[in-house]
Amino acid sequence: MADPPFELLPTRWEKPVTNFLLNLRGREKVEVVTTDMWKPYRKAVKIAMPQAVLVVDKWHVMRMANDAMETARRVYQGGQGISKETRKQLKKGWSIFLKRPYQLSPKQLLDLDGWLKNTPELAGAYECKEQFMDIWKARTATNALARLNHWRDNIPPHLYRLFKPVVTATTNWEAEIMAYFTTGRQWTNAATEARNRVVKMTNRIGAGYSFNAIRARALFGKRPGRVAKEKKDAQAEPAPASPRYLECVSCKALVPRGDHWKYDEYYVDGHVFEVAALCADCARFNTEEWFGAEGHSTPKSE
């Protein structure tokens, strides 16, 4: 499992990123930095970590080729003379044009073959996209650069405008893209991008979360793997006559009885039954002002 993030900045502009990196402990020992194609990042790394090799993650470069393919599909789909049923099928099967052949099922491969044989407009864009993706099959930087140059020199004229953003990006960031191969084809910021996606989803769901709230959630929130492990460990123990664990209604982790924040309970024949409980981690976000004096209701909504 990838290490969790250790800091989030409120902006990604050059000055704050540079200041952060300059104050990062051990920055002089950093050997490789992976990032996307954002110029302020490149400038910040060159200032704060001049000894480090900057690697542009291949995912960001490949995504640009997929964006070009998606544009070609949308243009064809919205063109004149295209039947309603064809538009519907293209919209439904959009993903088969973006995946590599080995990622497709036999049914999807058959559908893709049908589209490419019957729509030259899409076939040309797809072949150009796949040739670009094949650059990352190269085992050395020399071979990769040769493939990249060959691809840029042989884009069909009618597709050049479609793939021009890819050509521009691979020209401006050629050294950093090729660094992926010179550093051993192992460096990627995929874990960061995955975490970034979760943060963005959380922000959308929150519909108004402040930056501090998002930062606290990303840095200090209980990780899913930890929750699953705690629950598994608790369930593996023999169940006593009286349950030793309660499930937190917020994060679903199992916490020892007595080591939690009870906020609702009732009595049957003198026995106490907890209806809901919060673990210590989740309870730290709650104070007495959220709960009534009797502990049976919440006067305010979180």
Distance CA 211, CA 200 (A): 11
What pLDDT, on the 0 to 100 scale, is given for residue 223?
A: 59
DSSP-assigned letter for residue 229: H
pLDDT band at 299 (very low <50, low <70, confident <90, very high): very low
> What are the residues facing 256 on neighbouring strands?
245
Give me the phi and psi of 299, to 5 degrees please. -70, -20
Judge whether 94 and 73 are in contact, CB under 8 Å: yes
> 162 burial class (0-12, 13-18, 19+ CB within 10 angstroms)?
buried
DSSP secondary structure, 202-252, as one string: HHHHHTS--HHHHHHHHHHSPPHHHHHHHHHHHHHSPPPSS--EEEBTTT-
What pLDDT, on the 0 to 100 scale, is given for residue 99?
A: 95
Q: Which of 199, 251, 203, 204 is nearest to 224 (CA)?
A: 251
- What pLDDT digit, counting tens, does each position of 235-281 carry? 776 555 445 667 776 666 777 766 555 555 544 455 555 455 667 66
Residue ranges of the domains in the chain?
A: 14-56+189-220, 58-182, 239-290
The tokens for 82 are 């295209």
Q: Which of 127, 75, 120, 118 is nearest to 97 (CA)?
A: 127
Residue 3 has pLDDT above 80, yes or no: no
Burial 87-106 (b: 16+ CB within 10 A, else e): eeebeeeeebbbeeeeeeee
- What pLDDT digit, counting tens, does each position of 204-239 carry? 877 777 888 888 777 776 555 666 776 677 677 655
Sign of CA dihedral 80, 85, 90, 96: negative
- Strand segments, DSSP code E, in the chain are 32-35, 53-56, 245-247, 254-256, 261-268, 271-278
Strand 261-268 to strand 271-278: parallel, antiparallel, or no bridges (unpaired)? antiparallel
Distance CA 217, CA 211 (A): 10
What pLDDT, on the 0 to 100 scale, is given for residue 69?
A: 97
Residue 8 has pLDDT above 90, yes or no: no
- What pLDDT digit, counting tens, does each position of 57-84 carry? 999 999 999 999 999 999 999 998 899 9
Cα distances (angstroms) measured from residue 100 to each of 127, 133, 140, 215, 301: 11, 9, 21, 35, 48
Distance CA 263, CA 281 (A): 15
**Predicted model pTM:** 0.69
- What pLDDT digit, counting tens, does each position of 76-130 carry? 999 988 999 999 999 999 999 999 999 999 999 999 999 999 999 999 999 999 9
What pLDDT, on the 0 to 100 scale, is given for residue 214?
A: 81
Phi-psi region of 270 (alpha: psi -120 to 50; beta: other; left: phi over 0): left
Q: What is the mean pLDDT of residues 21-25?
A: 93
